[in-house]
Amino acid sequence: MKCLLLLLLTGAGSAVFSQQFTKITSGPLVNTPGDSRSVNWIDVNNDGFLDCMITNGPHAGQNNALYINDGNGNFSAVLNDTIVKDGNPSDGATWADTDNDGDVDCFVVNYYDFNNLYYTNNGDGTFTKIGVGSLVNDGGYSETASWGDYDKDGLLDLYVANSSGNLRNFLYHNDGSNSFTKINVGASVTNTHSSRSVNWTDIDNDDDLDLFVTNEANENEDIYRNDGNGSFTLLTSGPLLNNAGMTMSGSWADIDNDGDLDVFLANDQSPNALFLNDGNFSFTKITGDTVVKGSAHSFSSAWSDIDNDGDLDLFVTNAFTGTVKRVNNLYLNDGSGSFSRVSDAPTNDSCWAYGCSFADYDNDGFEDLAVATVRFAGIDPADLLYHNNGNSNHWFTLNLIGTISNRSAIGTKVRVKAMINGNPVWQMREISAQSSYCSQNDPRAHFGLGNASSIDSISVEWPSGLVQQFSGVNVDQFMTLVEGAVLSGLNEIARPLEFLIFPSPAKDHLTISYKKFPQGLESVYEVIDTNGRILKSGNVKDEIALSGLQHGVYFLRLRSGNLMGVRKFVKE
């Protein structure tokens, strides 16, 4: 049974907004009681449809849940895999392809001094639990974690936020082959704050991931600026870093379409906060908008363009107010960065809620919403799922696969330009493994395009430094981009061509060593600069002359039939 819910916004002097959601009331995802915490949308079996993980975390412990998307709008619960048999008090989770083998792996944090959990994907949507290494033997009172490649070596590192115990957060460097080194030096792992949430995000647009940590207990938030050499500098000045409160969550997004990332802070027992990014770690605090008015009991949030009109809207969860249930909040962006609260669904289901995430689980171009609900009055409720019924606005969704960069493309920025209502509008999305406290949004870059008839420009900025640009792309479609390749449909993805190049730095030539040469096919090479321009091309088997290239960083792309591979090199 499904119950149709109508989102309706009216106001004096404003146009009527109508957006329909359907509250899903059948299936295991919304009929399995749990003391739930985190909502993560990921494709665990590579079938093109997003699956959903929900963690559960009472003191006595409870199994986590994984629901497989059947591709027809329904979900099936995983019952026998190790990933749903932990029985621990789990809080957040973060997913990414941590070993770059083509499938997503999972890290789950536990509270009450339990060890955290790391699961590697076997390639078929089943998992192996890793039991060795500091990653899973440090204990702690962990709240959330997130994967991010802070040194841009193509391997995803991990940061874990702790809110009790010795209060120190964890940073693990990925050494490859599922081996990690715990970092014990630096403010990011020696500060003793009550940390709730963590985001890897490029705050200053300098093409490396900075670290943002929210703190409760009336402590200021922390920004650890990435200095580009594997180290961080703690920043302490400015309104964003002097807004002490009970901050549960940070959600970063470009809400005003000016090309940089702004941040919303969800607070418990104090007003929520919204800060606009002015560049160079400078922020302006928004004080008069509906989105930050009144005392809140908020825990998590999620940004998404729910109506595909070209700007990002905001959902906020609320919980823990004595013996009274709370409703959640949905705020609509009017296009100028000002917000109005929707008074109908999905904001009229009374509950206590933690994590929330948007994802287009039925691939219809409109983002749906899942909400994790926590125990109330001793009773574990079912979680919430709302299907977005869409409208006539256009959209575009891009799936990214890294080759030189980490395979999950974490840290990649996608910029899209289209004419919306007669105006040129640039939008930007950054791929992340944690969108807020206990939350992970759709890993694909989704753009609402309003009445745009086509996309004028797409710019993809990879962590490797490669920038790829495209123009004249049709709206209303899912596409995939393999780093260094061309845009393709979901079922037209090039298979990897495995090869090595040496020397690097190189002087006069590059030598190619194929791991397995495609017999009967000839390789075509292209030398590409960091702006995506092809400087040299031709047919090749094992050596390429570099005459005419200036000193600098380049990419070598090889193609053989439907095989494609990219490698980075330096020309002396």
Instruction: Say what the pLDDT of residue 521 is.
Output: 60
pLDDT in tens, the chain (572 residues): 334 333 333 332 233 344 588 999 999 999 999 999 999 999 999 999 999 999 999 999 999 999 999 999 999 999 999 999 999 999 999 999 999 999 999 999 999 999 999 999 999 999 999 999 999 999 999 999 999 999 999 999 999 999 999 999 999 999 999 999 999 999 999 999 999 999 999 999 999 999 999 999 999 999 999 999 899 999 999 999 999 999 999 999 999 999 999 999 999 988 999 999 999 999 999 999 999 987 789 999 999 999 999 999 999 999 998 899 999 999 999 998 799 998 877 888 999 999 999 999 999 999 999 999 999 999 999 999 999 999 999 999 999 999 999 999 999 999 999 999 999 999 999 999 999 999 999 999 999 999 999 999 999 999 999 999 999 999 999 999 999 988 887 666 667 788 899 998 999 999 998 876 656 567 899 999 999 999 999 988 788 999 999 999 999 998 887 788 899 999 99
- pLDDT at residue 491, rounded to an integer: 62
Cβ neighbours around 397 below 10 Å, total = 19
Close Cβ partners of 72 (under 8 Å, ≥ 6 residues apart): none
CA distance linking residue 242 with residue 319, whole number of Å:
25
Q: State residue 2's pLDDT score.
A: 37
Residue 397 to residue 410: CA distance in whole angstroms: 16
Per-residue confidence (pLDDT) for residue 517, from 0 to 100 = 60
Write down the pLDDT at residue 542. 81
The whole-model pTM stands at: 0.93
Query: Residue 10: what pLDDT?
Result: 31
The full length of the chain comes to: 572
- pLDDT reported for residue 240: 98
Q: Could you report how far apart the first and last alpha carbons of the chain are, in Å?
A: 66
- Output the pLDDT for position 497: 81
pLDDT in the model for residue 275:
98
- Per-residue model confidence (pLDDT) at position 7: 34
Are 385 and 30 in contact by the 8 Å Cβ rule? The answer is yes
The DSSP output letter for 312 is -
How many whole angstroms separate alpha carbon 146 and alpha carbon 45?
21
How confident is the model at residue 493, as a pLDDT? 66
- Round to whole Å and give the CA distance between 202 and 209: 5
- The CB-based long-range contact list for 52-56 (8 Å cut-off, 24+ gap) reads 52/359, 52/361, 52/370, 53/83, 53/93, 53/95, 53/106, 54/29, 54/355, 54/370, 54/372, 54/383, 55/90, 55/91, 55/92, 55/93, 55/108, 55/355, 55/372, 55/438, 56/90
